[in-house]
Chains A and B, each alone.
Chain A
């Protein structure tokens, strides 16, 4: 049953990712991406990583997607539509991507037995375990990340200010 769930989610994820790339309008791309993110959240649940799933929904589907949406609306890009790159460039890009996929999957070639995930009492995704690590072993990166966030926020505000003020500064 769970396997079907996995394959189903995977199919939707790949499909929506493809559609995101193929769509002409940015707004469509955005919505397909949103769909893709939700399926990924489903995958996290399947992996028994509940905390990750929740955070993923909040951060990506909630915050980042809304930010994208605002930008799309703000810039009013839909009117202009999407101009596409030259055909040659697109073919080269697809070939390059395909080759990379071959390379990545090719790594698996040498593995004889195909190990499965086998943790009967999988507790790694539990909030307790994660926070344990995050606030002990990874506390320094955690604090640094907060500074990064702060910097990004200040940067975004600075960049977003009206043009004349930016120039004056």
Chain B
């Protein structure tokens, strides 16, 4: 056993290092490698990491916890940061999600990016991303987590702006980066505060020290709130969510991997990881729950009126992330992680399916120009349908269980949050099926040429889709609630990490059944409604300029968030920059600098008259100076 653990330590280190190695190989030779080698190398490294993660998972399940200390990274008298990895149930689960879904998306990308010039560059970035995400997940202290946190932010920036020749895409990348910076500032400040308070940033030390603080102490509340600001930025919550829809500028597999399955859930992971301090801050928990539910509802309302297939999915992602935060906020940490996992499956599937559609239509993303793709893309249609059902919360698909768990906890915690969450799930069912019907049913609305080129995607793309579809179907079974006679395997698995006493639900089984029934019936009704509108009647959303009721206009324009930010923040900033540029920089700074220059020139112009070159004059001047000095010294 001893030997096995020791070997595993090395293997644990390999999990993040393999993608890094692959990134280095591809990144350094991206001009030379051919596409097959790159694809195999990139996917293969992630696959081996996945295998290792599975091995680690079984050992963790058997009760092991790995803490691998690679080396002492920063060592001062008072400040010690180890470059160390931690695998406990929580990070083990994340490992599986990141490497598993990551691997499938890598394979899919081989087909999707086949004709792209930047093929090798793409896979280098993707591997770097996987590496950073693994560091984030595996880090055993906040600094390690922060490295990963920044690394994924960088990769996100690089991949959103992957087609860097398009200014709009670059702007989207910059927007994502800047908005993340705002969040990261909060994360950093939170880290500083934790360090000042506890003298360490190691998870174990911080959590054990924090246990002695009273519930609701100001320092803990402040620190958790600051960390949550980081989560807001990374996980696209209100008010920093506007970057995520714009991030759809990147290639679709990027949207699937980074902006749906993994990176955006880093905030959820971070809060779940810091559960020990978050449970000590009820105020922060309330803030999280409220932020989550408002985000979920807001994003869902916006998604109803979006016509870009990826934008719908993006807002849906924001909405589902909101759900996860609701779960965290009401104390359902397991539920949040559960939803994170299932969401990774079906949202990655949705994005990849959308990618398949876009691929078939040679880049068309407007669902008003789609329709009737069911026959042309049968596999894509099937997996898309499965994913849509899963996200809508129809049993026994994955999304049902996780969403149900969050909603039940929300009901026990606060009825209003539950009500809003329920309403959001109705909206979710509606907009997802709206998307499905508009894309796949009835007849094709695009151009004749597009119709001619319609084709199912190659196997390399459809097989990952099918695997994800399978996971979307059965993924929920890891957390069958007790009321249905299950054991909630995930709950038991994560129980070791979430040591804080779980909130007593205080709900009778019949009450739970009623809640489930209400949710499911509501979702089915919304599906029928969507079918009536977009399936049977074949209504197509009007153009962007068409007259609409005020509320619809509000949703359509994303609650005018971008406009509000533009007016409140961007424009004043521009104005200020303009002021500093035109007035402060040009007039004052340059004025001072140029003033010194002119002064020197002017003084030189005057003084050159005494540079006669006449020795006699110089000597006289010298003597007079000596005399002055002598008199001065005499005077003293």
Contact = CB atoms under 8 A, between A and B. Distances in A.
> A contacts B directly in the complex (CB < 8 Å)?
yes
Interface of A: 85, 89, 92-93, 96-97, 99-100, 103-104, 106-107
A169 B614 CA distance: 30
A154 to B, nearest CB: 26
A106 B634 CA distance: 8
B631 A97 contact: no
Interface stretch (B424-432, B570-578, B619-627): B619-627
A85 B616 contact: yes
Contacts of A96: 620, 623-624, 627
Q: Which residue, of A85, A100, A104, A106, has the highest number of chain B Cβ atoms within 10 A?
A: A100
Contacts of B616: 85, 89, 93
Given A100-B626, A100-B627, A103-B627, A92 B620 contact: yes
B623 A97 contact: yes
Contacts of A85: 616
B588 interface: no
B429 to A, nearest CB: 103
A99 B620 contact: no
Interface string B585-625: 00000000000000000000000000000001100100110
Interface in B538-592: none
B624 to A, nearest CB: 5
24 contacts: A85-B616, A89-B616, A89-B617, A89-B620, A92-B620, A93-B616, A93-B620, A96-B623, A96-B627, A97-B623, A99-B624, A99-B627, A99-B631, A100-B623, A100-B626, A100-B627, A100-B630, A103-B627, A103-B630, A103-B631, A103-B634, A104-B630, A106-B634, A107-B634
A92 B622 CA distance: 12
A99 B631 CA distance: 9
Nearest to B617: A89
Contacts, number: 26
Contacts of B627: 96, 99-100, 103
A93 B627 CA distance: 12
Nearest to B631: A103
A85 B619 CA distance: 14
B437 to A, nearest CB: 102
Nearest to A110: B634
Interface string B194-217: 000000000000000000000000
Contacts of A107: 634
A46 to B, nearest CB: 29
Q: Is the interface of A mostly helix, strand, loop or mixed?
A: helix
A113 B623 CA distance: 31
Contacts of B620: 89, 92-93, 96
B612 to A, nearest CB: 11
A89 B623 CA distance: 13
A92 B627 CA distance: 13
Nearest to B614: A89
A97 B620 CA distance: 9
A94 to B, nearest CB: 10
A107 B624 CA distance: 17
B619 to A, nearest CB: 8
Contacts of B630: 100, 103-104
> What are the 9 A-B residue pairs with the smallest beta carbon separation, nearest first?
A103-B630, A99-B627, A96-B623, A100-B627, A96-B624, A106-B634, A103-B627, A103-B631, A92-B620
Contacts of B626: 100
A166 B154 CA distance: 71
B500 to A, nearest CB: 86
Contacts of A104: 630
Contacts of B631: 99, 103
B623 to A, nearest CB: 5
A85 B630 CA distance: 27
A87 to B, nearest CB: 13
A89 B621 CA distance: 11
A21 to B, nearest CB: 14
A103 to B, nearest CB: 4
A99 B629 CA distance: 12
A89 B620 CA distance: 9
Contacts of B634: 103, 106-107
A99 B624 CA distance: 8
A96 B617 CA distance: 12
Contacts of A93: 616, 620
A85 B612 CA distance: 15
Nearest to B622: A96
